[in-house]
Amino acid sequence: MEKIKDQFANLHILRRSSEPKEPTYLLGIDTSKTVPAEKGGLVAVLCSNGSIRIYDKETLNLLREFSGSPGLLNGVRFANSCDNVYSASTDGTVKCWDARLASEKPAQLFKGYPSNIFISFDVNCKDHIICAGAEKVEDDALLVFWDARFTSQDLSTRDPLGAYSETHSDDITQVRFHPSNPNMVVSGSTDGLVNVFDLSVDNEEDALVATCNSVSSVSCIGWCGRDYKQIYCMTHDEGFCWWDLNHLDTDEPITCLNIQDVRDVTDVKEGHLDYLIGGLYHENMDRLFVIGGTNLGKIHLLSCTKTGLSHVTSLQGGHAATVRSFCWTVSEDSLLTGGEDAQLLLWKPGAVEKTFTKKDSLKIASSVQQRVRVHSSDSYKKRKQQ
């Protein structure tokens, strides 16, 4: 534990992205997986104006920007085997761009069913299957699936393979495939349910491996534990749950931890916790860590055990407002963070920033304010009514 504490505490800002022409909240971050870490790579950032920005990972220079128009984009994910970058759109599609090219037009378009509004998605570890979660329309909240494999007779537009419609009763806010098993996927919803599916099974009812209840609107889910047989969940009102799927066929309870509001029970040294950002499973340590923060930009590292969340250490001096996204590459001790101050920061051990100009918190137009961090289970319903 001391090692990870020192690793995190020793992170310092190496670079900041230049201020864009249109300041936006930075809602999601992913990095390309095809280039060795020491040779740099690409960073894709989901912005609150409905676009994806592509940066050089080493310099944080903005290379290009992709628009989700006419819809707003939700989520950002690089392919595992190439530099394609994906995002789900409220226009009922999942879009795929070649991040190396400046073309505004997506390389592929995965079309949903009529009336689909996609707010979450993921691509499996082999880049073969895409799954997107939709807002509830009438009585249906759909998980929609596509074949994402490229073929010699490739089509730029793909229709769905099918959909699951019986396991969620409200907006599907999160979708995450298993890191190494291409058939396993977990979904989370504003109905509070977190469902685990095995896609190698033919029908939805039999494919449902487990249903866990967070009792609140799900904001983040992920896989953890040895062989990634555990899942964790965060909620829009700062709750945290952790379940062990190894216990599904035993008499042991699958719930490892269930905290209704982490802000009430987590003791942060010389400070406080305002929100959770996400989780990170450290394979070498076999330990789940949770990242949280304050409204003034301080970042907290929390360790997760069956007794609760405990504060390990903190980073400060980088952001001036709420931190909305992070991407921590443990193998190279580097951390990328994005916030409501429109800054993308690269942190590395012992780094010295050449130019230090901490930005003030930004006042951004109302179109962005509609996509601020939500803390209630009916947030998406409110957005639909606007």
Whether residue 82 lies inside any domain: the answer is: yes
Alpha helices in 92-221 (DSSP H): 204-207
d(CA 96, CA 191): 29
Name the token pair of 224. Answer: 């953890």
Strands 162-164 and 143-147, by their bridges, are: antiparallel
Segments forming the whole domain that contains residue 141: 22-213
Three-state SS string over 23-87 comes to: CCCEEEEEECCCCCHHHCCEEEEEECCCEEEEEECCCCCEEEEEECCCCCEEEEEECCCCCEEEE
Segment 92-105 shows an average pLDDT of 93
Quickly state the pLDDT bin for 129 (edges 50, 70, 90): very high
Whether residue 72 lies inside any domain: the answer is: yes
Longest dimension (CA), the chain: 60
Segment 99-127 shows an average pLDDT of 95
For residue 88, the cross-strand partners are 74, 94
Q: What is the pTM assigned to this prediction?
A: 0.89
Q: What percent of the chain has pLDDT over 90?
A: 76
The domain total for the chain is 1
Whether residue 28 lies inside any domain: the answer is: yes
Quick: pLDDT tens for 272-281. Answer: 999 999 999 9
Residue 207: CB atoms within 10 A of its CB come to 18
Task: Quote the pLDDT of residue 38.
Answer: 56
Residue 2 belongs to what H/E stretch?
helix 2-9
Q: What is the DSSP string of 150-167?
A: --TT--SEE--SEEE-SS
Quick: pLDDT tens for 25-35. Answer: 999 999 998 87
Query: To the nearest whole number, what is the mean pLDDT of the chain?
Result: 89
Please give the C-alpha separations between residue 104 and each of 93, 117, 134, 178, in angstroms, as whole numbers: 15, 21, 24, 31
Instruction: Please enumerate in sequence order all residues whose Cβ is within 8 A of that of 57, keeping only pairs 6 or more positions apart, or say none.
Output: 31, 32, 40, 41, 42, 43, 336, 346
Task: Quote the pLDDT of residue 196.
Answer: 98
Whether residue 233 lies inside any domain: the answer is: no
- The CATH number linked to 157 is 2.130.10.10
Whether residue 305 lies inside any domain: the answer is: no
